[in-house]
C-alpha cells in the first residue's frame, strides 16, 4: 500500500467513497427488488398487465425523466472524478526543482541503478529521506517496468526510449522494488531493495 502523501493517496480515497456510495446504492436496490417483487413458488403467480407474449413486440416501458437522470448524474460524477485527478496528475508529470537523478537500467533480470557520481549498483538503491529523485529509466533488452509500491509509481523500461519517474522518500526504511512488466523466465525474481537513509526533514 503506497505511503502517505503519494499522488495515489491523494485520489484513491475520493474514488473509494464514490465507489462505496454507488456500490451500496446498486446493492440495496438489487436486494430490495429481490425481496419485494419475488413471487414465490406455490402462490399463484402474478401476471403483470403488460406481460410479454411470444411473437409480439412488448409494450413500451420506460421513463424518459428517470433515464435522463441516470445519464446526467453519472456524467457529473465522471466530470468530478476527472477534475479530482487533475492536481495529482500534475504532480505525477511535473518535475520537482533540482531533483537528484538516478539512471535506472532494466535487464533480464536485474535492475541497475547509476548514481549522479557515476557509480552503479545492482539490485539495490540507496536514497536519502526528503530528497526529490528523478529516475530516468531504460532497458537493455525486453520491456521491464520499474515498480516501487511504497510510492505507488511505476514506469516502463523500454530499450531506446527514456521514460522517467519521480518520487520523494518521506520515511526511512527498506522497501521492495519490483518489475511489473512480464519480461520472461525470471520476471518474478527481478526484485531489488530500496533503502531510505535518514534523517527525515521534520514537518
**The residue to which cell 517496468 is assigned:** 145
> 3: which residues sit within 8 A by CB, 6+ positions away?
9, 150, 151, 152, 170, 171
**The residue to which cell 446504492 is assigned:** 25
Would you say 123 or 129 has its CB closer to Cu ion? 123
CB of 202 to other proteins, least distance (A): 26
Bridge-partner residues for 110, per DSSP?
Answer: 107
Would you say 4 or 203 has its CB closer to other proteins? 4
- Determine contact, residues 198/172, Cβ cutoff 8 Å: yes
CB of 80 to Cu ion, least distance (A): 22
Would you say 6 or 145 has its CB closer to Cu ion? 145
Tell whether residue 116 is a contact of other proteins (CB under 8 A): no
Would you say 113 or 202 has its CB closer to other proteins? 113
Could you tell which of other proteins, Cu ion, none binds residue 174, using a CB distance below 5 to 8 A set by kind?
Answer: none
- Determine contact, residues 134/146, Cβ cutoff 8 Å: no
By CB under 8 A, name the one of 133, 147, 166, 194 that touches other proteins.
147
Rounded to a whole number, what is the largest CA-CA distance in the chain?
Answer: 84
Tell whether residue 24 is a contact of other proteins (CB under 8 A): no
What is the rounded CA–CA span in Å between residue 153 and residue 165? Answer: 7
- The interface with other proteins within residues 35-74 (CB under 8 A) comprises 36-39, 45-67, 70-71, 74
Interface characters, 154-183, with other proteins (x: CB under 8 A): xxx-xxxxxx------------x-xxxxxx
> 98: which residues sit within 8 A by CB, 6+ positions away?
132
Sites of contact with Cu ion (CB under 5 A): 144, 179, 183, 187, 190
Amino acid at each position: 500500500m503506497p505511503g502517505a502523501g503519494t499522488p495515489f493517496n491523494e485520489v484513491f480515497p475520493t474514488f473509494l467513497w464514490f465507489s462505496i456510495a454507488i456500490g451500496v446504492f446498486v446493492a440495496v436496490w438489487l436486494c430490495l427488488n429481490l425481496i419485494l417483487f419475488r413471487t414465490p413458488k406455490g402462490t399463484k403467480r402474478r401476471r403483470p398487465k403488460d406481460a410479454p407474449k411470444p411473437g409480439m413486440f412488448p409494450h413500451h416501458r420506460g421513463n424518459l425523466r428517470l433515464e435522463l437522470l441516470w445519464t446526467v448524474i453519472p456524467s457529473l460524477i465522471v466530470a468530478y472524478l476527472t477534475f479530482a485527478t487533475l492536481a495529482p496528475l500534475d504532480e505525477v508529470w511535473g518535475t520537482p526543482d533540482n531533483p537528484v537523478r538516478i539512471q535506472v537500467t532494466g535487464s533480464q533480470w536485474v535492475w541497475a541503478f547509476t548514481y549522479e557520481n557515476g557509480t552503479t549498483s545492482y539490485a539495490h538503491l540507496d536514497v536519502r529521506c526528503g530528497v526529490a529523485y528523478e529516475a530516468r529509466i531504460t532497458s537493455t533488452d525486453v520491456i521491464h517496468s520499474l515498480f516501487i509500491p511504497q510510492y505507488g509509481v511505476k514506469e516502463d523500461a523500454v530499450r531506446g526510449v527514456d521514460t522517467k519517474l519521480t518520487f520523494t522518500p518521506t520515511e526511512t526504511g527498506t522497501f521492495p522494488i519490483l518489475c511489473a512488466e512480464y519480461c520472461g523466465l525470471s520476471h518474478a525474481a527481478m526484485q531489488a531493495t530500496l533503502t531510505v537513509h535518514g534523517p527525515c526533514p521534520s514537518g
